[in-house]
């Protein structure tokens, strides 16, 4: 069973930056594609960004393209989400997710493991 622990969420002003981290408990972390999702109050959880474990191709939601960057460090079993030019509409609970295999789907039901979430709040 893979356990994921996120960190890095906090209150930030609009235009600021944050970096979220997600560390997995098992060294087989490198065999999974990774993603970040978020859920704002009253809204469904949505795909934010993903990265393939073979090749490292990245994918982003249109709403964050050009502002957010997903990356990974296999040696540290950790994935990151660098968030720049933050907006109030980015306020949400951010989750990391892992999926065995190389695909990076946007549907949350296709991911095998989830973190507990880290809160990002962007003030205007």
C-alpha 85 chain-centroid distance: 16
Q: pLDDT tens across 90-118, in order?
A: 999 999 999 988 899 999 999 999 999 99
Q: CA of 92: how far to CAs of 31, 38, 46, 80, in Å?
A: 28, 6, 10, 16
Q: How far apart are CA 39 and CA 42, in angstroms?
A: 8
Q: pLDDT tens across 28-43, in order?
A: 655 789 999 999 999 9
pLDDT at 30: 59
């Amino acid at each position: 069973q893979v356990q994921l622990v996120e960190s890095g969420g906090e209150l930030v002003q609009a235009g600021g930056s944050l970096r979220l981290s997600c560390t997995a408990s098992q060294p087989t972390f490198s065999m999974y594609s990774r993603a970040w999702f978020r859920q704002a109050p009253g809204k469904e959880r949505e795909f934010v960004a993903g990265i393939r474990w073979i090749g490292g191709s990245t994918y982003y939601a249109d709403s964050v393209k050009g502002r957010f960057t997903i990356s990974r460090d296999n040696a540290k079993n950790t994935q990151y989400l660098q968030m720049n030019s933050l907006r109030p509409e980015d306020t949400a609970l951010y989750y990391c997710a892992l999926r065995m295999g190389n695909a990076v789907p946007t549907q949350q039901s296709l991911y095998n493991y989830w973190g507990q979430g880290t809160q990002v709040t962007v003030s205007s």
